[in-house]
Amino acid sequence: MTEKIMIFDSTLRDGEQTPGARLNRKEKLKIAKQLAKLNVDVIECGFPVSSPGEFKAVQSIAQQVKGPIITALARTIQGDIDAVWEAIKDAERPRIHTFLGSSDIHMKYKLQKDPQTLLEMGVEAVRYAKRYTADVQYSLEDATRSDLDYMCRVIEAVINAGATVINLPDTVGYAVPEEYGAMISNIMNRVPNIDKAIVSVHCHNDLGLAVANSLEAIKYGARQVECNINGIGERAGNAALEEIVTGLVIRKDYFQDYRTDVQLDEIYKTSRLVSNLTGIPIPVNKAVIGINAFAHSSGIHQDGVLKNLSTYEIINAELIGGKAAQMVLTARSGRHAVKNELQEMGFVLEETEFAQFFEAFLELADKKKEVFREDLEALMADRLAYAAPTYSLEYLQTVSGSRSIPAAVVKLKKDDEIFVETDCGAGPIDAAYNAIDKITGIEPRLETYNLRGVTEGRDALGEVSIMIQYQDKNIVGRGTSTDIIEASVRAYLNGVNKLLSICHMNGNGHTNGCGCDVK
Ligand SMILES: CC(=O)SCCNC(=O)CCNC(=O)[C@H](O)C(C)(C)COP(=O)(O)OP(=O)(O)OC[C@H]1O[C@@H](n2cnc3c(N)ncnc32)[C@H](O)[C@@H]1OP(=O)(O)O
Ligand SMILES: CC(C)C(=O)C(=O)O
Ligand SMILES: [Mg+2]
């Protein structure tokens, strides 16, 4: 038999405390509905006393979102508790959550009251909240920096006053797992009436230990874990919901006694929704839901994953409703991955053709961060067009600027012969085209010129497509490169080569007197 761990989602309360993450009523409602689909146990949706807009947002959620317990936060102040109740009273299952600092630091500097007075304030707040609802959660803010004896006294007293959930937050993300586990264990053993309440944990990520601390607490008796989608929250954030629930499933060999009721395949959608509405981006390397979490980029990993996913993947993306493993092609990719991607795109190359293609791939990949499918397509198009290359580009240098005469040096290779020419022009591209004309001995007219970014980003591959006219022939040429001048020259050469091969194919080569004065 497994024990249920309740998932208390605070994305709409502590998560919204992330600087810049403000959500309006509609946005909060939309996220709350998605959290209900995710099947969390509790949705903490705000701090009603803080503003009229916040009050209305909490009220809308309480009225419209069915399934989870709906709660909202209040200080140990009657006005705050009244506001929470007014906002959540229409919920199917309302819970009032009230909190008060218990550490010496918070009591002395922030609350400026003595521990006994604060204990009584806490008890009074719970009693007051109980007038409204049976389900009252009490949090000992900054528990991990609080005196254990004092906490035990507070917990016993607020449970006697009717608290049904006791939350022990690591408010400033100060705890380390062993210590946090020991604190929970001590409280479980020392508070005589602790069995009358559910013990909850709420961990912040200031030292990057929020998830580890939460999982450790489960082992010592915590049965409610407070966490936020994408780990957003005050300062460095809170424990990430997706990491906790996925961790419990993936390591069920270790956490065999526990389960949650979260609908894992809703995680990806929820995560994207929260990111889009809060405007807080998901780091690419974020565990479970970052775009790199299921991407493989280095050749050895890609080869392993193509042979068997388990070599480098412990989470199946489908489990969280995400996209299946992706190969990210970079200069660190190997032949297996590139060949596989080409095959998926419908290109099957002979070994020697592939070897040449792979060289071109590496040349491009060295210039770019990532090679996309569109890049591969463009490289393939280049190769198909160059099926019978006549002139190939060996070297290109251009000069341009507001006070210089645009000039180009072009070195082409044909068979084993090298041709070098320089020329100037209206711009660097025109200069390079003129130099090429000098080498080939023909002067096609440039009819159209188009440049487009094939991929995204500043290092995007540019594709130039041109149309050249020579005598009665209109020829299209294409070239790609991260350098648009080089792409332009490749496009021109591509057109010129096609022109020449057409002449030769028709038996009209210069040797046969077609009129092309080709060298
Ligand atoms: C760890 C956490 O995440 S706690 C939750 C944090 N969330 C929020 O703060 C929600 C947004 N906050 C707000 O809208 C406002 O701060 C309000 C409405 C709550 C209060 O606003 P103000 O009345 O202007 O007070 P202000 O925020 O400046 O100061 C907080 C006051 O509450 C007191 N206080 C803090 N926590 C508690 C508590 N749990 N119980 C009782 N009083 C408390 C402080 O000591 C301070 O009191 P003082 O004015 O006597 O010095
Ligand atoms: C209000 C409490 C639960 C809190 O957010 C914290 O202590 O971090
Ligand atoms: Mg918090």
Segment 37-58, tens digit of pLDDT? 999 999 999 999 999 999 999 9
pLDDT tops 80 at residue 388: no
Q: Is 430 annotated as a binding residue?
A: no
Question: Which pair of tokens denotes residue 414?
Answer: 């044909």
> Sorting pLDDT into bands at 50, 70 and 90, what band is 15?
very high
In angstroms, the CA 487 to CA 214 distance is 54
User: From the CA of 292, how far away is ligand 3's center (Å)?
Assistant: 28
Atom of ligand 1 nearest to the CA of 47: 10
What letter would DSSP give residue 282?
P
Q: Could you give the ipTM of this predicted complex?
A: 0.99
Q: Which residues are paired to 75 by β-bridges? A: 99
CA distance 118 to 180: 24
Q: Which two tokens stand for residue 340?
A: 């596989």
Q: Is the CB of 382 under 6 A from ligand 2?
A: no
Q: pTM for the whole thing? A: 0.78
Using DSSP's 3-state secondary structure scheme, residue 26 falls into helix
Average per-residue pLDDT for the chain: 92
Residue nearest atom 43 of ligand 1, based on CA coordinates: 75
Give the span between the Cα atoms of 296 and 301, in whole angstroms: 6
In this predicted model, what pLDDT tens digit does every residue of 293-336 receive, in sequence order? 999 999 999 999 999 999 999 999 999 999 777 889 999 999 99
Rounded distance between C-alpha atoms, residue 162 and residue 70, angstroms: 18
Distance CA 239, CA 255 (A): 18
71 lines ligand 2 (CB under 6 A): no
All domains in the chain, ordered by first residue: 3-278 (3.20.20.70), 295-371 (no CATH), 386-512 (3.30.160.270)
Which of 18, 98, 141, 205 to probe ligand 2 with, by most ligand atoms within 8 A of CB? 141
Cα gap 276→279, rounded to integer Å: 5
Q: Ligand 3 centroid vs 317 CA: distance in angstroms?
A: 29
DSSP 132: T
Output the pLDDT for position 324. Answer: 76
Task: For 71, list phi and psi in degrees, rounded to 5.
Answer: -135, 165
423 is in an annotated binding site: no
Q: What percent of the chain has pLDDT over 90?
A: 78
pLDDT number for residue 502:
61
Residue pointed to by tokens 């090298």 = 418
Q: Which protein residue has the closest C-alpha to ligand 1 atom 27?
A: 50
Strand 445-453: give its sheet, edge to edge.
445-453, 462-470, 473-481
Model confidence at 472: pLDDT above 80 = no
